């Protein structure tokens, strides 16, 4: 009987030791996990702080765009002009346009290419000439305005004449537009009514006092 009691006591002690060991292991694991969580938490806070700093800097750049600007306004304008000139030089339709071309000139040349406009050669008394692109249904008055704009553009691109100004009221009081032996007297008449077509020549003829 004594032997049996001693063996039972031994078995109980072994069980108690095993239970105690398992508890200690679980406690150590929980401590390790807790330590890992503590180690991770500073990094996550650092990441959130980094993101907030990035957002703050981006908002600052939006609020003050001049701080993040790399080029001045004039540099951007010059760069756009150079890029536009290089693109126009490579285009088979627009490659004959002058530097610093206007939007109206580009649109007129495209309309001419699509058959929506006609080109008329304007001849001056000094022997020079220049083309004018105008709508097929344009009137004489509209042709006069196109001649004015084309002449002023030519003068602005000429360094020696860029400050020259023309009194167009005096010009139209002194000269008629003249085509195919006919004076274009009526500003409201269309060019079609005068039988003026693409590539026709128009010149200036001095008005004479009518008796």
Measured CA to CA in angstroms, residue 125 lies from 53, 155, 165, 193, 208 at distances of 72, 17, 18, 25, 16
Within 10 angstroms of residue 104's Cβ, the number of other Cβ atoms is 13
Contacts of 44 (CB under 8 A, 6+ apart): none
pTM of full prediction above 0.75? no
Give the per-residue pLDDT at 201: 96
Q: In which region does residue 26 sit, left (phi positive, over 0), alpha (psi from -120 to 50) or beta (all else)?
A: alpha
Measured CA to CA in angstroms, residue 141 lies from 26, 56, 107, 160, 187 at distances of 100, 60, 20, 29, 4
Measured CA to CA in angstroms, residue 45 lies from 17, 31, 51, 54, 174 at distances of 43, 22, 10, 14, 84
Give the per-residue pLDDT at 46: 52
Cα 9 from Cα 178, distance rounded (Å): 135
Report the chain (211 residues): mean pLDDT per 10 consecutive residues: 51 58 53 50 47 45 50 78 74 69 83 92 92 94 96 82 83 95 95 95 89 57
Give the per-residue pLDDT at 94: 65
For 124, phi then psi, to 5°, come to -100, 170
101: nearest Cα among 116, 211, 181, 93: 93
> In which residue are the tokens 């026709």 written?
200
Q: Where are the domains of the chain?
A: 1-69, 70-98, 102-206
Which CATH number is correct for 102-206, 3.40.50.1240, 2.40.170.20, 3.50.50.60, 3.10.20.90? 3.10.20.90
100: nearest Cα among 36, 177, 162: 162
Cα 209 from Cα 15, distance rounded (Å): 136
């Amino acid at each position: 009987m004594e032997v049996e009691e001693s063996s039972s006591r031994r078995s109980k002690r072994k069980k108690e030791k095993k239970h105690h060991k398992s508890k200690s292991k679980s406690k150590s694991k929980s401590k390790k996990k807790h330590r890992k969580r503590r180690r991770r938490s500073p990094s996550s806070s650092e990441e959130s702080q980094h993101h907030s700093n990035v957002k703050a800097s981006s908002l600052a750049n939006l609020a003050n765009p001049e701080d993040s600007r790399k080029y001045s306004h004039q540099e951007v304008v010059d760069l756009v002009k150079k890029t536009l000139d290089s693109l126009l030089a490579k285009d088979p339709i627009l490659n004959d346009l002058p530097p610093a071309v206007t939007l109206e000139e580009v649109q007129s040349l495209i309309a001419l290419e699509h058959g929506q406009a006609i080109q008329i050669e304007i001849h001056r008394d000094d022997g020079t000439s220049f083309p004018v692109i105008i709508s097929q249904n344009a009137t004489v008055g509209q042709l006069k305005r196109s001649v004015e704009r084309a002449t002023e553009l030519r003068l602005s691109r000429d360094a020696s004449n860029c400050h020259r100004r023309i009194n167009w009221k005096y010009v139209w009081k002194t000269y008629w537009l003249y085509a195919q032996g006919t004076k274009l007297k009526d500003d409201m008449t269309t060019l079609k009514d005068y039988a003026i077509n693409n590539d026709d020549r128009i010149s200036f003829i001095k008005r004479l006092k009518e008796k």
